[in-house]
Amino acid sequence: MTPSAFSTFAALLKSRSGLVIGPDKTYLLETRLAPILKREKLNDLTALAERLTKPGADNLARDVVEAMTTNESFFFRDDKPFTHFRTQALPRLLANRPANAAIRIWSAAASSGQEAYSLAMILADAKAQLAGRTVEIIGTDIARDQLNRAREGLYTQFEVQRGLPVQMLVKHFRKEDSNWRLSDTIRSMVRFKEFNLLSDPRTLGRFDVVFCRNVLIYFDPPTKARVLDGIAAQMPADGALYLGGAETVLGITGRFAPLQGERGVYGLTPARAAA
Amino acid sequence: MTRTCLVVDDSRVVRKVARRILEAHGFAVAEAEDGQKALDACRLGLPDCVLLDWNMPVMDGITFLHHLRQEFGPEKPPVVFCTTENDLSHIELAIAAGAQEYIMKPFDDEILSGKLSQVGL
């Protein structure tokens, strides 16, 4: 691939999704974009980059962004954030809110839906605790094909064995040929929506809990700050933000601070919360 | 202290694959090729966990599990089924008999280590 072709991909990904790639990630372009090269009958990435610079390439550009931003997802990934949500954040929110107030949760890089559905399963199991309260879970992603997969709620045998306790499998899934389908009850608890994290989150409304895990690592610091500040502006004082294990707010924004003793869980800083 | 896992499977290949993964995660591994041999091994000393196939000669996995729970109580050692039986009825049967987790073959390092972590190991 020529340096100019690489620059075309890097600029496209940065402007459309915030994804920052360096020349060391050429292999990622090669592996992720190979299906597009085949489909478009193009010889190499340089030819694809040339095609992207021509008029009428908007759909192709979208496909390239989707292919590069699709991230793997699995149920109850890393376990601890979900345990914290179930045992700390949720009880606190239920105690703080009037009985008729809805609780809103955002899975901000929903991919194929496992994170949002993990939260839905926790809430389904906490039905008595919720006492009829409305809980909304919104799963967003930039990739439409992943969102369609998420809405289907159909997972392979491999996927349902990554992180999902067998008791949950038995309770919430049924087998369909060699795959496993989530129950209508769980699927109906989550609404999936196309959303670019670079866009204004005010269009999504306010959220008590935000899971934004393993996506900020791909952004440069100013983009991270922009996304985090956007989330902060949509969150009440007692809200909770969950980031991935390799992510932090430190040095990026002063609007969030780590919750004491909790790795990967953040609350609004007191100054911000009081504002 | 080193954790121990008893791998019960009539396939030498499966036992070898499981052993390799488990040893890489710091387990000491013992093997048995059927439920009866596994039960004999448990009577000599309980492992920290059991990885258990379903279909085996002499004594199958579910019969072994019934004996194990009857003799040693409902919880310990934790048992993770690891079998080609991948329908809901088998999974429900395994849980009812006292299995804590269930792996549908084929499996890899991520699935096996993840399931062991789910049973507290």
Among chain B residues, the shortest Cα distance to A178 is held by B86
Q: How many CB atoms lie within 10 A of CB A203?
A: 9
Tokens of A113: 């839906």
Find chain A residues with C-beta within 8 A of B120's C-beta: none
Distances from the Cα of A77 to the Cα of A67, A72, B80, B102, B120, angstroms: 22, 10, 20, 18, 16
* pLDDT given for residue A22 in this prediction: 87
Domain span including residue A100: 80-274
What DSSP line would sit under chain B, residue for residue? --EEEEEE-S-HHHHHHHHHHHHHTTEEEEEESSHHHHHHHHHH---SEEEE-SS-SSS-HHHHHHHHHHHH-SSSS-EEEEES--SHHHHHHHHHHT-SEEEESS--HHHHHHHHHHTT-
Q: Are B96 and B76 in contact (CB under 8 A)?
A: no
Separation between Cα atoms, residue A108 and residue A195, nearest integer Å:
9
Residues A174 and A269 in one domain: yes
Separation between Cα atoms, residue A30 and residue A45, nearest integer Å:
7
- The continuous run of DSSP H or E covering A51 comes out as helix A45-52
Find chain A residues with C-beta within 8 A of B88's C-beta: 170, 174-175
Q: Which residues, including other chains, have CB under 8 Å from residue A226's CB and lie 6 or more apart?
A: A198
* pLDDT given for residue A109 in this prediction: 92
Mark yes or no for CB contact B101/A166 under 8 Å.
yes
- Asked if B104 has any chain A CB less than 8 Å from its own CB, the reply is yes
Mark yes or no for CB contact B118/A165 under 8 Å.
yes
Q: What is the CATH number of the domain that holds A37?
A: 1.10.155.10
Residues A137 and A24 in one domain: no
User: Would you place residue B101 in the very low, low, confident or very high pLDDT band (cuts 50, 70, 90)?
Assistant: very high
Mark yes or no for CB contact A162/B104 under 8 Å.
no
Separation between Cα atoms, residue B32 and residue A47, nearest integer Å:
57
Separation between Cα atoms, residue A217 and residue A226, nearest integer Å:
14
pLDDT at B16 over 80: yes
Find chain B residues with C-beta within 8 A of A167's C-beta: 95
Residues above pLDDT 70, as percent of chain B: 100
The dihedral sign for the CA sequence A261, A264, A265, A267: positive
Among chain A residues, the shortest Cα distance to B107 is held by A158
Mean pLDDT (chain B) is 96
Separation between Cα atoms, residue A248 and residue A12, nearest integer Å:
26
Residues A226 and A167 in one domain: yes
* pLDDT given for residue A17 in this prediction: 87
Q: How far is B101 from chain A (nearest CA, A)?
A: 6
Mark yes or no for CB contact A175/B107 under 8 Å.
no
Q: Is residue A172 part of a domain?
A: yes
Residues A127 and A244 in one domain: yes
* pLDDT given for residue A271 in this prediction: 64
Our count of domains for chain A comes to 2
Topology of domain B3-109, per CATH? Rossmann fold (3.40.50)
Residues A50 and A177 in one domain: no
Q: What is the CATH number of the domain that holds A190?
A: 3.40.50.150
* pLDDT given for residue A274 in this prediction: 45
Residues A163 and A223 in one domain: yes
Of A15, A46, A69, the residue that ends a domain is A69
* pLDDT given for residue A131 in this prediction: 87
Provide the edge-to-edge strand list for the sheet that holds B101-104. Answer: B27-32, B3-8, B49-52, B79-83, B101-104
pLDDT at B49 over 90: yes
- Asked if B93 has any chain A CB less than 8 Å from its own CB, the reply is no
In Å, how far from its chain's centre is CA A175?
A: 26
Residue A180's SS3 state is strand
Q: Is residue A156 part of a domain?
A: yes
* pLDDT given for residue A100 in this prediction: 87
Please provide the distance, in angstroms rounded to a whole number, between the alpha carbons at the two ends of chain A. Answer: 50
Q: Are A140 and A107 in contact (CB under 8 A)?
A: yes
Residues A95 and A116 in one domain: yes
pLDDT at B37 over 60: yes
Question: Choosing among A78, A83, A118, A161, which should be mutated to test the B contact, i.e. which has the most B CBs within 10 A?
Answer: A161
A56 by Cβ neighbours in 10 Å (0-12 / 13-18 / 19+) ranks as: exposed
Enter the ipTM.
Answer: 0.93
* pLDDT given for residue A275 in this prediction: 46
Task: Please calculate the CA angle A19-A30-A48 and round it to the nearest 5 degrees.
Answer: 85
Find chain A residues with C-beta within 8 A of B101's C-beta: 165-166
Q: What is the pLDDT of residues A136-146, one digit of tens each?
A: 999 999 999 99
Separation between Cα atoms, residue A225 and residue A18, nearest integer Å:
12
Q: How far is A178 from chain B (nearest CA, A)?
A: 9
Residues of chain A with confidence (pLDDT) below 70: 271-275
